Structure 1
Amino acid sequence: MMSCYLLPFSSVHGQGQRNMENNMASSSLGRRLVACLLNVSEARRKELVETVAKAALYNTEGVRREGTTVLNIFNDHDYNRSVITIVASIDSIREAVLSACEKACGLIDMCAHTGVHPCMGAVDLIPIYPLGEEVRVEDCAKEARAVAQGLTERVQGTSAFLFGWADSPLQRGLAQRRKEMGWFKKTPDLQAIRPDLGPQPQRRFGLTGVGASPYVMNCNVTINTQDIAMGHSIATTIRESTPGGLPGVQVLALPHEGAVEIACNVESVKGSTPSHLTAGEPWPSFSIDGQLYCHAPASLITARVAELAGRKGVGTKGMALVGFTPRECRGLAELALSEGIAEFWKEQRRIRM
């Protein structure tokens, strides 16, 4: 899959960056932060998507949930898919996410959905990631399982499958679980699916993936062609499962705005920069519960795609580092919460300048 949420600036500058770094360094805040990158199958009605985001922030009486912020909303018209980046403490994330999911299920009907991105559910994906040493992936997995259970109880007719650490004891990855569920098929057979929770998937709500893992970034590179077969070839070459591929990179090639997008999920991998890739830029790293993780830098992915496309006489049209690195997500969340900004997606241009 490729979850997408693009910020208007590729880096944080000036006072905004200093504030972010100061907040990251502050241990007095004592927040045990986690992020949920809520993927919903709607982008063409932006007001609807904002309504879903606000449901994570305010209760039914309009009272704000303390310690919760929405850092960003990304809408992709071609994909008809949005990603809402919700950050809260581990103790608050469940209710915020469930409230947003309830709202989404009430507003989005999969019977009427169209878009070029694969999807199966009105709420298509609910991944939960720890944002620091204070929270273990296992803690996120517990919350993910509770969210899946809560969704199927609160919204009658919804169904869910589990992935990552939430899929106990197998801990199958998202790509594997999606293959098992038929997510990559143009028209999935809902009657053939056996969800982990809830009834047989219904057309209106579809099927939702819920899970937990170390942070997953997204990096999309557009190649200047409409040749989808070329895109598939490039995607196969850089995919982690291919010998010589990039560790942690799961990838699809999709038609997008008259070109082809090489859309990458960039998973965190244990340890530091892989030994056979140390010649280039160091891989950004972070720790969870004493375990070091790192992820492939966007520059490496972009260079590899450009090289492969160039061999076929095709250039690239651009790269989108879709969203945040783990460190940036944590820092911006601390900044938003310290300044009491719930709807941070409306403020990010001012703060990030």
Structure 2
Amino acid sequence: QRIINSVRHISNCAVLGVEPDTDYNRTVITIAGAPESVAEAAFLLVKKSIEEIDMRQQEGEHPRLGAVDVCPFVPLKGVSMDECVDLATNLAARVAEECFVPTYLYGHAAKNDAKHLLSTIRKGEYEGLEARLSDGDTPHSEETRYPDFGPRSWNDVVAKSGGLTFGARGILVAYNVNFDEKDAFVAKKAGSLIRSTGRLIKQADGRRMRVPGMLPMVQGMGVTLEAHGISQVSMNLRDVEQCPMHVAFEACKSIASDHGIEVPGSELVGLVPLSAMLESGAWYADESTTDEDSIVVAAIQGLGLDQLGRFDPNERIIEYALKGALNQ
């Protein structure tokens, strides 16, 4: 709450969502508004997070590199991707200079192609950062090893903050499918099957071969959710037009069914575009259903989005949340 309160006074900027999760030990904060206001609010959120969070004490299911794992700028209306690149680059430089921490750029803001994917920058996570910045063993190449701004060596400040990543990208949907199992055995298998990069399999001669995954533009992994007594396939749908939510959901259901596991529902993390809800809603709705509200309800019910908690379209759909924030 102290982190969120640090930006409540910023004009022309609204906090659209705050979603903490005990299993992932991660909080997703969504803000929107005028570019300069959003950039200032993002800086204050990052600065306060660095003050409040000690990565030496942090554990969680989700991959992460530092106290602020990732801060993406996403163009919504009247803002170009190039402007978001400038915002991300300037913020990364400012955070490095004023907070004395290493910052990386990814996505459209990446300085080279090797740093384009967030998952590449995260390799080794926080636990591998000391070796990464100390010329130790690391899975990174010289192109991805070092930050774009800030210290390139390990010290007490970096040990507390970890590395921070900033970028510019299109809308990404963070979407998790719930598996009725506690150990994530099938969820992990499903994650490896559906993610675009696929999985490595061993051939008869001992050599390994990568088999592509089922779904395009999808990152996925299986995790346990001890607080709920279930597992999830945690996914990033990097292009929800290429892989809609219902396609990912039904693919996971099919794999789970093959292993005798029920899929009671799913979960959205952060906000989702209205178009994505309408596309999935149209899949589950009766053909005679044409009004927007009913199609949204069909998506919520078909995907089981309210299994772990109430799903309020006015808070979780980007267009509705923005409208509500502007009317306050």
Secondary structure at the residue paired with 1:52? helix
Secondary structure at the residue paired with 1:167? coil
C-alpha change, 1:216 and 1:203, in structure 2 (3 Å) is same
Q: What is aligned with 1:90?
A: 35
Q: What is aligned with 2:208?
A: none
Q: What is aligned with 1:23?
A: none
- Partners of 2:103 and 2:319 in 1: CA distance: 28
Residue in structure 1 matching 2:245, options 264, 284, 298? 298
Structure 1 residue 250, shift from structure 2 partner: 0.8
Q: Cα RMSD (Å) of the superposition?
A: 1.9
Q: What is aligned with 2:296?
A: none
Residue in structure 2 matching 1:261, options 198, 207, 232? 232
Secondary structure at the residue paired with 2:69? strand
Greater fraction helix: 2
Question: What amino acid maps onto 1:86 in structure 2?
Answer: I
Q: What is aligned with 2:83?
A: 139
- Partners of 1:319 and 1:53 in 2: CA distance: 27
C-alpha change, 1:119 and 1:177, in structure 2 (3 Å) is closer
Identity of aligned residues (%): 28
Does the 8 Å CA contact 1:131/1:326 hold for their aligned counterparts? Answer: no
Structure 1 residue 169, shift from structure 2 partner: 4.4
- Partners of 2:197 and 2:66 in 1: CA distance: 26
Question: What amino acid maps onto 1:54 in structure 2?
Answer: N
Residue in structure 2 matching 1:234, options 174, 190, 197? 190
Question: What amino acid maps onto 2:214 in structure 1?
Answer: G
Q: What is aligned with 1:153?
A: 97
- Partners of 2:320 and 2:188 in 1: CA distance: 35
Greater relative CO (CA pairs within 8 A, separation 6+): 1
Q: What is aligned with 1:57?
A: 8
- The alignment of Structure 1 onto Structure 2 pairs a total of residues equal to 254
Does the 8 Å CA contact 1:131/1:330 hold for their aligned counterparts? Answer: no
Q: What is aligned with 1:248?
A: 217
Greater fraction strand: 1
| Unaligned 5+ runs, structure 1 | 1-49, 59-64, 269-282, 284-293, 341-353
Does the 8 Å CA contact 1:125/1:209 hold for their aligned counterparts? Answer: yes
Structure 1 residue 317, shift from structure 2 partner: 3.4
1:260-279, Cα deviation, whole Å (9 max, x unpaired): 210011112xxxxxxxxxxx
* Greater C-alpha Rg: 2
Question: What amino acid maps onto 1:323 in structure 2?
Answer: G
Structure 1 residue 79, shift from structure 2 partner: 1.6
C-alpha change, 1:295 and 1:129, in structure 2 (3 Å) is farther
- Partners of 2:174 and 2:162 in 1: CA distance: 24
- Partners of 1:295 and 1:68 in 2: CA distance: 31
| Unaligned 5+ runs, structure 2 | 134-145, 199-211, 275-316
TM-score by length of 1: 0.67
TM-score by length of 2: 0.72
- Partners of 2:51 and 2:112 in 1: CA distance: 33
1:188-237, Cα deviation, whole Å (9 max, x unpaired): 24231422211135210001111111011111011112343422221111
Secondary structure at the residue paired with 1:153? helix
Q: What is aligned with 1:3?
A: none
Alignment of 1:1-353 (within 5 A): 50-58=1-9, 65-132=10-77, 134-156=78-100, 158-170=101-113, 172-179=116-123, 182-183=124-125, 187-193=127-133, 194-199=146-151, 200-201=153-154, 202-242=158-198, 243=212, 245-257=214-226, 258-268=229-239, 294-327=241-274, 328-337=317-326, 339-340=327-328
- Partners of 1:241 and 1:220 in 2: CA distance: 18
Does the 8 Å CA contact 1:56/1:86 hold for their aligned counterparts? Answer: no
Question: What amino acid maps onto 2:272 in structure 1?
Answer: T
Structure 1 residue 295, shift from structure 2 partner: 4.9
Secondary structure at the residue paired with 2:6? helix
Secondary structure at the residue paired with 1:204? helix
Question: What amino acid maps onto 1:155 in structure 2?
Answer: C
- Partners of 1:119 and 1:219 in 2: CA distance: 17
Secondary structure at the residue paired with 1:56? coil
Question: What amino acid maps onto 2:250 in structure 1?
Answer: A
Question: What amino acid maps onto 2:89 in structure 1?
Answer: R
Secondary structure at the residue paired with 2:97? helix
- Partners of 1:57 and 1:159 in 2: CA distance: 27
- Partners of 1:107 and 1:232 in 2: CA distance: 32
Question: What amino acid maps onto 1:252 in structure 2?
Answer: M
- Partners of 1:240 and 1:140 in 2: CA distance: 26
